[in-house]
Structure 1
């Protein structure tokens, strides 16, 4: 018999055992008045599947009433525990009917019960099914991840979302509640879109918040009133994070005004090297990574994760570039809301630019479509007024259906048999890939302005072949660093 069928049968039988057994030996009281519920379970199953219960139901810890183990958990809601208990018995769960905050509560309780295999599954569900909620409540999710180190997937999701706009967390009330390990994970990233001096000031603010109760000062912000003991306490608080500040990327004036007052926090050797850097501008080696942090892409439509994936498509890589390996800059040349949505505006500013990426957002949605043209868009056959096909085997079109992420991204390269029809160059209209595979005509912000119909490219990038409007589009010149 197939092993999956065996596992399904076992799961089903254990589920029936949870509902109908008459040999329970564990009572679990969950919740707080007036919402308290009693559950019944088998101690051997709980101990086998949960290290937490293995310890809690041991002879040294367990509380008994007669022959029954008794366990009380007032900080977990009955609804959350019901889901967890079903998972312990059957290895299955269904979160579709639960609101997102309750799912967060389930994952926190699962961390407490040390269900290490359950947690990644819940994280994946949240990221795939409730990503909009996570983005809206990202500051609270960051704090939850800081308090629960097992939430790796959620932490990475938040980092990816925040690194373009890190001030959302650095300037939030939650920032000073982050723990040390989380601060290290955050500040060491290369893709934080902040000036180094802002990161330094944030670290100092975080450090002061950790020790404010130990400072005998009317205003802990006034560094001129700090005693040597105060500085020593602050240095010990931030010493593990301090090496990830890239002092060589702080301008001399900012260093003088905002770092020098705290020079006693930095070792004398490191501080001397910093000063020599400013004197002779020599290669400076203090931080573990000396790479300049990568700023955000100048776009209202895509983020760096989209750009790195698009760049990997340009170079026909099997896997996406990372922020550290990204070999291109996306130089913004046209933005619809600034330059206009007419084909005349596109031709005026974009016709003569080589190696371009177009991205556009479908009106009243988050869907993003785009294309790559390694050539120019200009109608350069002066002896002929007729429009013509421009061949190229490198061009492609693409879409990001949900816009916010790269999940379910669609890449459609030119069909090799039709590479001579890669782009259709028009004198009096917008850019066109193939024969309306991706075509922007007339006014791009009108309902008849854009269309995507599969002809010469390998895949269709939209389900619908009806024309539509975009509420933003951008043209980038791709420049190798």
Structure 2
């Protein structure tokens, strides 16, 4: 809508506010003799303010006992839950929480909305328990939420304090990068490979409080080189050198990748795992293939005979 047209609409709004024409809502403001009645329009109020949409739903519930939550999205339902709590409609609050719990997929998709809600309103015990149980079982549920980037800094820090050790550390770094881009007010391009020195400085400022919560020692060397080293400048020199030193010292101690497929017609995975145990001189058998087996020669007779 152009500025000229917008101004015209606002003038019409002002006119009907003064005249009260077509009004269908009256709001009385003031006390005793000092009061004033405003003649307003429910359509305009509902379009401009979510509060009035929620208020209408609550009024209908109070007068009729009917509530059709299925017609509303989860954000509206959460707003309704908060409004019901403020009006001390405890039975309605309990009903709404149980309704939300029956749609776990929506809760998972909007997990940050739920987290932010229970952070402010700890009386919503059903939702609170759902969040706590979900995080204990699988902390990465936070990262998979559609609304992940809306998580607040304090909430994010608290989450990492509790669950960072249960998460893949490179995943923490990747999601932290995604979060910082969203919080940068369009200062950071979505493609980190295009960042300027100033962009990297902005990034460093945003993620500084989180760095101590990442165990860089558990990041693979290839991920460290490709995804973290380009941002070396955001780290304290002493801290960065310690990370590199730890990587060098512990290179042999990192958990090897487990091979799931073997391109061979002669040996199978169990045979390969036995060979791995011989190489490591392991007394106790461990049925994992932790070395790469490369196929060097293929006989034509084998190929033709299907061996």
Normalising by structure 1, we get a TM-score of: 0.36
**Equivalent in 177, 184, 191 of residue 221 of structure 1:** 191
Equivalent position of 1:204 in the other structure? 177
Do the aligned partners of residues 132 and 110 (structure 1) sit closer, same or farther apart at CA in structure 2, a change above 3 Å counting? Answer: closer
**Does the 8 Å CA contact 1:200/1:245 hold for their aligned counterparts?**
yes
* Distance apart, 1:231 and its partner CA: 1.0
| 2:33 paired with 1:67 | no
| 2:214 paired with 1:245 | yes
Deviations, residues 90-145 of structure 1 (Å, cap 9, x unaligned): xx99987431547852542675x796585987665444344121x12024532434
Structure 2: tracts of 5 or more residues without a match: 1-16, 251-307
**Alignment length (residue pairs):** 218
Matching of residues 19-418 of structure 1 within 5 Å: 38=25, 67-68=36-37, 73-74=45-46, 75-76=49-50, 80-82=54-56, 97-99=67-69, 101=72, 105=76, 107-108=78-79, 111=82, 118=88, 124-133=94-103, 135-145=104-114, 148=117, 149-152=119-122, 153=124, 154=127, 157-158=130-131, 160-161=133-134, 164-165=137-138, 167=140, 169-190=142-163, 194-211=167-184, 213-215=186-188, 220-223=190-193, 225-280=194-249
Identify the structure with the greater strand proportion. 1
Greater RCO, CA 8 A, separation 6+: 1
* Superposition RMSD in Å: 4.6
1-side partners of 2:59 and 2:115: how far apart?
26
Do the aligned partners of residues 257 and 77 (structure 1) sit closer, same or farther apart at CA in structure 2, a change above 3 Å counting? Answer: closer
**Does the 8 Å CA contact 2:112/2:142 hold for their aligned counterparts?**
no
**Does the 8 Å CA contact 1:110/1:118 hold for their aligned counterparts?**
no
1-side partners of 2:175 and 2:90: how far apart?
31
2-side partners of 1:160 and 1:37: how far apart?
47
Do the aligned partners of residues 40 and 138 (structure 1) sit closer, same or farther apart at CA in structure 2, a change above 3 Å counting? Answer: same
Do the aligned partners of residues 183 and 191 (structure 1) sit closer, same or farther apart at CA in structure 2, a change above 3 Å counting? Answer: closer
* Distance apart, 1:86 and its partner CA: 9.5
2-side partners of 1:192 and 1:260: how far apart?
22
**Does the 8 Å CA contact 2:60/2:66 hold for their aligned counterparts?**
no
2-side partners of 1:39 and 1:193: how far apart?
56
Do the aligned partners of residues 76 and 278 (structure 1) sit closer, same or farther apart at CA in structure 2, a change above 3 Å counting? Answer: closer
Deviations, residues 349-392 of structure 1 (Å, cap 9, x unaligned): xxxxxxxxxxxxxxxxxxxxxxxxxxxxxxxxxxxxxxxxxxxx
Do the aligned partners of residues 107 and 167 (structure 1) sit closer, same or farther apart at CA in structure 2, a change above 3 Å counting? Answer: closer
Instruction: Name the SS of the counterpart of 2:25 in structure 1.
Output: strand
Deviations, residues 261-299 of structure 1 (Å, cap 9, x unaligned): 222233333323323433556xxxxxxxxxxxxxxxxxx
* Distance apart, 1:234 and its partner CA: 0.7
Instruction: Name the SS of the counterpart of 2:186 in structure 1.
Output: helix
* Distance apart, 1:206 and its partner CA: 1.9
